[in-house]
Amino acid sequence: MQPALEWQVGEVTRVRTETPRTKTLTLALPKWMAHRPGQHYDVSLTAPDGYRTERSYSAASEPERAGEVDLTVERIDDGEVSPYLDDVLMPGDQLEVRGPIGGYFVWDVSLGGPLLLIGGGSGVVPLMAMLRHRAAQKAPIPARLLYSSRSAQEVIYRTEFERLADGDGELEVVFTFTRHAPPGWTGYQRRIDPAMLDEVMQSLGNGVRSYVCGPTLLVEAVSNALVAMGLPAGRVRTERFGPTGT
Amino acid sequence: MISRGFFGRRRPAEVENRLPPGQYLVTDFPVLSAGPTPHTPLDRWSFTLEGLVGSPVSWSWDSFLKLPSQAFTVDISCVTKWTKLGTKWLGVSVDTLLQSVHVDGTARYVMAFSDGGYTTNVPLAEMVNGQAFIAYQFDDKPLAAVHGGPARLVVPHLYFWKSAKWVRGLRFIDHDEPGFWESLGYNMHGDPWKEERYSGD
């Protein structure tokens, strides 16, 4: 049996606003362990009377950044935890976490590619950890990210995606907007569908490994489509969040 | 450690008392799956008891539906932290299935197996006496594929990853073996009241 995964008290060292609804917390961890991109941490909050609740958040950072981890948290307005993490926590605060956790929705360069990442909304967070890791390793593995957002202002990590793709001939980042495209936008303006997947995958070749993360409806539609297009089910790894996920 | 500025959302005591440690209440039904949803046509569906049994037995979909069924209402808890209270199911209890087969006295564990290759292990003693069902209706409707339909295992006293979606059979074995999530760092047993989430908990 593996040793128990222990709770540890991390310190918030930085809070960065990503979008109007999303912030990234950087935690310095005394018992930091390298995660595999795609893994998550459990967060535990305790009220003064002892009431306690937990949630899970994907690591957004690459494991090459030793000693700390980024958690990107989307605020759910009626949520119990995400408004606390996004609006109350400040640098210097402590946060109890344990991790890294999860062994299936993970990718590192040792698995190779080509890599197809498909994210909806904050489902892009674990995919970002994979792309940051790929960049840190300078691995020339062909990779595509297809990222569906409602509008341009909800795109998380936009400038970093553009920077990553700019200097990297093997990486393409493709956005689609399902409600409001920015003025002059000539790219996709619809939900992800088989035709879009086909276009994004065209240049990837065979043996694609795909990771799909987002709301249940998106993940269902995309993973069914990928299987219908001939990807083996074992190469379509999914992580879903329902409408709840506070 | 007290989290500065966190007060939490209190539920009425009768709800709080039904939430295992670290869990929060949901009223919808979140979907968690590691891969694509399998869609096995009902005319190719079967359910099999195998392993340490006198001789394996299989049911077709039609014959499975003719087995005596039971309605049951249970609270369910997912290791991803949500708990849903009072879920209504219809299915066949494992006790009923076991009337059709002789289980060897050396059997101690059950490995449930599913379409798509998913597996999960449960002690045999926790599959009997009304503790586990093969359910095919949820909320008076056929169980949706995203929730494990046409039929899933429901072992409500364990975290819900033990309640294998798209279940196609039970294999009786004499020792404990990790299934899919159990081999990826999740707990071999998975009791939410003991917060047995991960290996070593």
CA angle B135, B136, B142 (to 5 degrees): 145
Task: Give the integer Cα–Cα distance in Å for B125 and B105.
Answer: 12
Same domain, A17 and A61: yes
Predicted TM-score (pTM) of the model is 0.94
pLDDT in tens, B114-139: 999 999 999 999 999 999 999 999 99
| d(CA A166, nearest CA chain B) in Å | 31
Final residue of a domain: which of A67, A101, A135? A101
CB contact under 8 A, B38 and A233: yes
- Interface with B, mutate which of A41, A118, A238 (most B CBs under 10 A): A238
Q: What is the CATH number of the domain that holds A16?
A: 2.40.30.10
Give the pLDDT score at A83.
96
Shared-domain flag, residues A147 and A167:
yes
Residues of chain A in contact with residue B179, where contact means CB-CB under 8 angstroms, are none
Burial of A90 (0-12, 13-18, 19+ CB in 10 A): exposed
What pLDDT shows up at residue A71? Answer: 98
* pLDDT of amino acid B161: 97
pLDDT tens-digit profile of A49-103?
A: 999 999 999 999 999 999 999 999 999 988 999 999 999 999 999 999 999 999 8
Candidate from A12-16, A43-47, A58-62, B27-31 with smallest mean pLDDT: B27-31
Query: What span, in angstroms and rounded, lies between the C-alpha atoms of B36 and B84?
Result: 23
CATH of the domain at A126: 3.40.50.80
Domain count for chain A: 2
Tell me what the mean pLDDT of segment A111-132 comes to: 97
For B157, the enclosing helix (H) or strand (E) is: none
Closest CA to A106 of A129, A122, A138: A129
What is the separation of C-alpha B62 from the centre of its chain, rounded to a whole number of angstroms?
Answer: 22
Check A56 against B81: CB less than 8 A apart.
yes
Domain boundary at A101, A132, A162, which? A101
Q: Which of A216-220, B71-75, B105-109 has the lowest mean pLDDT?
A: A216-220
Q: Domain map of chain B by residue range?
A: 21-27+43-194
Verify that A126 and A235 share a domain, yes or no: yes
- Interchain pair B35, A234: CB under 8 A: yes
Q: Are residues A130 and A228 in the same domain?
A: yes
Residue-wise pLDDT for B163-182, tens only, equals: 999 999 999 999 999 999 99
Contact in structure between B76 and B133 (CB atoms under 8 Å): no
pLDDT range class, residue B33, cuts 50, 70, 90: confident
Choose the CATH number for B21-27+43-194 among 1.10.760.10, 3.30.70.1150, 3.40.630.20, 3.90.420.10.
Answer: 3.90.420.10
Residues of B with Cβ-Cβ distance to A241 under 8 angstroms: 30
Are residue A81 and residue A127 in the same domain, yes or no? no
Taking the CA of residue B172 and the nearest CA in chain A, the distance in Å comes to 22
How far is Cα A48 from Cα B61, in angstroms, rounded to an integer? 53
Closest CA to B28 of B134, B142, B131, B147: B147
pLDDT at B32: 82
Residue A113 shares a structural domain with residue A181: yes
- Look over chain B and give the mean of its residue pLDDT values, rounded to a whole number: 96
Say whether pLDDT at A3 is over 90: no
- B162 phi and psi angles, rounded to 5 deg: -75, -20
Same domain? For A113 and A234 the reply is yes
pLDDT at A183 exceeding the cut of 50: yes
Q: Are both A118 and A78 inside the same structural domain?
A: no
Task: Give the pLDDT score at A246.
Answer: 30
The Cα–Cα gap between B55 and A245 comes to 45
In a domain, A1, yes or no: no
Task: Please check whether residues A96 and A20 belong to one and the same domain.
Answer: yes
Residue A127: what pLDDT?
A: 98
A52: Cα separation from own chain's centroid: 26
The dihedral built from the CA positions of residue B186, B80, B163 and A222, taken in this order, carries a sign that is negative
ipTM for the assembly: 0.90
Range of the domain at A128: 109-240
User: Residue A25's beta-bridge partner residues?
Assistant: A15, A71
In chain A, the N- to C-terminal Cα span, in Å, equals: 32
Q: What six digits make up the tokens of B175?
A: 């020792």
CB contacts, 8 Å: A84 with chain B: 3, 5-6
- In the prediction, which pLDDT does A4 show? 75
> What pLDDT, on the 0 to 100 scale, is given for residue A242?
54
Mean pLDDT of chain A: 94
Tens-place pLDDT, residues A9-23: 999 999 999 999 999
User: Structure tokens of B200?
Assistant: 């070593």
Mean pLDDT lowest among A140-149, A221-230, B33-42, B145-154: B33-42
pLDDT tens column, A189-245: 999 999 999 999 999 989 999 999 999 999 999 999 999 999 999 999 999 875 433
pLDDT reading at A162 higher than 50: yes
Clarify whether residues A121 and A95 are in a common domain: no
- Kindly state whether residues A131 and A179 are assigned to the same domain: yes
With residue A100 as reference, give the H or E element that holds it. Answer: strand A94-101
Mutate to test the interface with A, among B2, B3, B4, B40 (most CBs of A within 10 A): B3
Query: Are A214 and A114 members of one domain?
Result: yes
**Is the confidence at residue A8, as pLDDT, over 90?**
yes
